[in-house]
Chain A
């Protein structure tokens, strides 16, 4: 893939709910019950798994990213324009801007060296829904059994959990609150429909 043909290539891409952009915007409401829903498509996503805690690769990755991989369960850190989410012990999701996956992957592979580990480009595996506004938590509470109270879940927290009956990676980005929901492409339409239906009930 070369830089010249990127625009042509990008014209061929379809995000799982790209056709809903206008619908999502229409359903976003203002005021005290404000909640906004949009898709953030095509984010670069890399699934990284290591084999042992505190390995040399872990330290080399920290240097390469400028930030250690988060080791506290269900937390995320920011490293430059990357967001790194804890998914499990020794497993992380690195999220970056559209198109950044190859460069980030090169960086990580170099840091990994010949240590065993797994690095998989999963950028097209999930799309990202962003739900924001004072009523966003209430929308999630219609289908998510996690305790989302600020004492339990706040900016920088993430979790793999269920929303409605759909597996999601939930990441709270800020205190407004703004949540990002990473959902597998096959479920994205259903989840968007479910969220829109929930937003109407506020």
Chain B
């Protein structure tokens, strides 16, 4: 079981958290302006790297805050915990170290 450091509450067991999938997938600013395949990309297509992955979690059983962290998908090492703001469309995503 992972030990996840909530940016507010500190280290808690994985059981207290709700997984939110890949981070930095912002809701498109103008969904109506997207083609079906662009919209489908937003809905369904996510990265699945072997290695470092920026992902979202919510401290559901605690302070209910959403936040991002970078986890190694093989070792489960957690390298960094980040703020929860999405990246606006067109802006570069944060670089994974």
Contacts and interface: CB of A to CB of B under 8 A. Distances in A.
Direct contact of A and B (CB under 8 A): yes
Interface of A: 73-74, 87-89, 91, 145-146, 159-162, 167
A146 B64 CA distance: 17
Contacts of B8: 73, 88-89
A125 to B, nearest CB: 15
B61 A167 contact: yes
A160 B62 contact: yes
Given A73-B10, A145-B15, A146-B12, 12 more contacts: A73-B8, A73-B9, A88-B8, A88-B62, A89-B65, A145-B12, A159-B62, A160-B62, A161-B12, A162-B13, A162-B15, A162-B61
Interface of B: 8-10, 12-13, 15-16, 61-65
A96 B16 CA distance: 28
Given A73-B9, A73-B10, A159-B9, A88 B65 contact: yes
Contacts, number: 35
Main secondary structure of the interface of B (DSSP, over half): loop
B62 A161 contact: yes
B63 A87 contact: yes
Which of B10, B12, B62, B64 has the most chain A CB atoms closer than 10 A to its own CB? B62
Contacts of A89: 8, 63, 65
B16 A162 contact: yes
